[in-house]
């Protein structure tokens, strides 16, 4: 069994190392709690796609975080929505 270094396209991570880089993207979710607010939950979702550039959404709604992630995933090549 091959073990990769955890990087996309490395042996053992299940990805095709010959895949074009335009099929890759990054999504980072940062969450924190602000106890001085009624709804203390806060999140910042930053995504980057080669074809769309970088987008950042800041929200206090966990459902909005899920919606942003769902939209990002479904806009990726190879999903049923493409």
Helix (H, G, I), strand (E, B) or coil at 65: helix
Question: Is residue 9 in a domain?
Answer: no
User: What's the pTM?
Assistant: 0.65
Count of domains forming the chain: 1
Q: Above 90 in pLDDT, residue 4?
A: no
pLDDT at 81: 62
- How do residues 43-73 score in pLDDT, each as one tens digit? 999 998 877 789 999 999 999 999 999 998 8
Spell out where 1-82 has E strands: 26-33, 41-49, 53-59
pLDDT number for residue 61? 95
Any domain includes 12? no
Is the residue at 29 inside a domain? yes
50 domain-assigned: yes
Domain span at residue 66 reads 25-74
pLDDT digits (tens, 9 = 90+) for 30-46: 999 998 888 899 999 99
- Residue 20: inside a domain: no
Judge whether 15 lies within some domain: no
In-domain check, residue 37: yes
Q: Assess if residue 3 is contained within a domain.
A: no
């Amino acid at each position: 069994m091959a073990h990769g270094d955890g990087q996309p396209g490395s042996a053992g991570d299940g990805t095709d190392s010959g895949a074009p880089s335009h099929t890759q993207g990054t999504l980072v979710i940062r969450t924190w709690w602000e106890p001085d607010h009624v709804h203390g939950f806060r999140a910042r979702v930053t995504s980057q796609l080669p074809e769309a550039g970088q987008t950042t959404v800041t929200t206090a709604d966990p459902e909005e975080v899920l919606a942003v992630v769902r939209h990002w995933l479904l806009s990726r090549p190879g999903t049923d929505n493409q």
